[in-house]
Amino acid sequence: MIPVIAGMHPDPSVCRVGDDYYLVCSSFEYFPGVPVFHSTDLVRWKQIGNALDRPSQLALSAATPSSAGIYAPTLRHHDGRFWLVVTNVSDGGGNVVLTATDPAGPWSDPVPLPGVEGIDPDLAWDSDGNCWCTVAGVAQYRVDPATGEASGPPTRLWSGTPGSKAPEAPHLYQIGDFWYLLIAEGGTERGHAVSIARSAAPTGPFEPCPDNPVLSHRGTDDPVQNTGHADLVQAPDGAWWMVFLGVRPGGGTPGWHVLGRETFLAPVTWVDGWPVVGEIVPGAESLSVERDEFDSPRLDPSWISLRDRSEQHCATGETPGWLTLRARGSGMDDPAVVFAGRRQRHLSCAARTLVDAADGSGGLVVRLDEDHHYEVEAAAGQVRVLARIGPLHAVVATLAVPDGPVVLEVRVRPRPPQDSRSGPDVLTFCVETIELASLDGKYLSTEVAGGFTGRVIGLYAATGTVRFDWFEYDPLG
């Protein structure tokens, strides 16, 4: 089952204005942060920007570890403007509100919500003009989103189904005669679920749906697992839809998912005033090769870097038609690594680049997090394949090559389980057409690495200055 937004795009939040839908996701330690998507049919989405795309909005320090940073935004349209509320769990960032008239940007600088504690903030307005900010737990504050002031301590609203852990991802909606409080519970792993409660007032008391959870794939053999963290939206024709995160595990047991948590879509009908979630609607997977020639002065919004991106270290204009990366760390293990990559979005794919490493060393990396990555690295006269799995580092292959630019490639192929321990896929690293090494993809999975992120395939500079003429992402069909 194909997601509507494939690759690491978790914690989706959606809103509609006229015939246009907009959707945002978490972005963790990557910069720019909070990808923004547009669609007119909820199935085909195009990234139109990133809400946090300047250092005045997002300055993640070198101490920001993987899976920290930016969590779970909520996107709403109110009073002629788009409102985004989001948590930066690092560097004392906390919860912030941003606004925009065009969701493609520019977004305002963030207004902090210093009195609002807790992740997964939501904003909802009632007809008296009160703005309610609801956070994981589930607790609620009345806030002034323009100034960021909260009036008083939080009120506890609901803690979900008794015995179920992690009530989080709240979204509050006024639908018909009720205020509905949609939450995720059970944790973002295999036990994940979506539950709902309703009340006559936005402040409660909330009555749980008798059929909770309204969505969960726990304990099923559905190929999409971990379903949860949902948001609702109504189409112009009156139909209701739910977006939510899910994963596609592969291999033997326990099943390893490698692309992170992705965004899925399902229809919703209402029975006795409660939502009933239908079958997942498949996304429209593009199978065309995407090639970036690095000809334009700005990178496409789908390119992400680690923690920050400065002109000095990552430039498209310096050598026209080339991406120039200038190292300031010592390689993929260094938090200061200079990196630009794109989320892996297909279970089967290849990525290629033409790299000129005459003035340094660097190459092509598949990164799950800072402790789990494989890379093929070029330096003057030699190409190496390196693997980092937790505390272990290995040079897997080395080949002498003539001086001059070389094509580096990684091919990712899913593999059917041969036994209960078979990994989900195999990653083969090549220089030109020579295969250097094939490695088990299970070590670049969330089940091994932990955390909230998925694979990103990218370019990096380990030492000196490294230039890339083009980058190709090829869904192998």
- Taking a C-beta distance cutoff of 8 angstroms, is the pair 468, 359 a contact? no
Nearer to ligand 6LW, 168 or 474 (CB): 168
Distance CA 209, CA 197 (A): 5
Q: Which is nearer to ligand 6LW, 172 or 386 (CB)?
A: 172
d(CA 201, CA 458): 48
Sheet strand arrangement including 178-185: 168-175, 178-185, 193-199, 207-208
Give the angle subtended at the CA of 243 by the CAs of 239 and 244, to the nearest 5°: 150
CB nearer to ligand 6LW: give 53 or 262.
Answer: 262
Q: Cβ 155 to ligand 6LW, closest distance in Å?
A: 20
Least distance (Å) from ligand 6LW to the CB of residue 401?
Answer: 41
Nearer to ligand 6LW, 119 or 358 (CB): 119
Annotated catalytic residue 11: yes
CA dihedral over 221, 224, 230, 235, signed as positive or negative: negative
Nearer to ligand 6LW, 168 or 409 (CB): 168
Measured in Å, how far apart are the chain's first and last C-alpha atoms? 15
Question: Containing H/E element for 446?
Answer: helix 446-449
Distance (Å, rounded) from C-alpha 471 to C-alpha 318? 17
Alpha-carbon distances of 315 from 64, 88, 312, 321, 372, rounded to whole Å? 23, 27, 7, 10, 26
Residue 28: CB partners within 8 Å, gap ≥ 6? 66, 67, 68, 69, 70, 71, 452, 453
Which of the following is catalytic: 11, 117, 231, 262? 11
Strands 323-326 and 122-125: unpaired
Please report how close the Cβ of residue 345 comes to ligand 6LW at its closest, in angstroms.
18
Q: Give residues in contact with ligand 6LW (CB under 6 A).
A: 10-11, 26, 71-72, 119-120, 168-169, 184, 188, 228-229, 245, 452
**Least spacing, CB of residue 384 vs ligand 6LW, in Å:** 34
Annotated catalytic residue, options 53, 168, 292, 375:
168
Phi, psi at residue 309, to the nearest 5°? -150, 115
Smallest distance, ligand 6LW to C-beta of residue 38, A? 22
Give 330-382 as a DSSP string.
SSTTSTT-EEEEEE--SSSEEEEEEEEEEEEEEEEEEEEETTEEEEEEEETTE
Rank residues 29 and 409 by Cβ distance to ligand 6LW and give the closer one. Answer: 29
By beta carbon distance, the residue nearest ligand 6LW is: 188
Closest contact distance (angstroms) between CB of 175 and ligand 6LW is 22
Q: Look up 53 and say whether it is catalytic.
A: no
Q: Judged by CB, which is closer to ligand 6LW: 89, or 336? A: 89
**Assigned token pair, 379:** 């330096």
Closest CA to 94 of 86, 83, 84: 86
Closest approach, Cβ 426 to ligand 6LW, in A, equals 28
Helix (H) or strand (E) holding 448: helix 446-449
Quick one: DSSP state of residue 115?
A: T
Q: Which is nearer to ligand 6LW, 182 or 314 (CB)?
A: 182
CB of residue 125 to ligand 6LW, shortest distance in Å: 22
Which residues are designated catalytic?
A: 11, 168
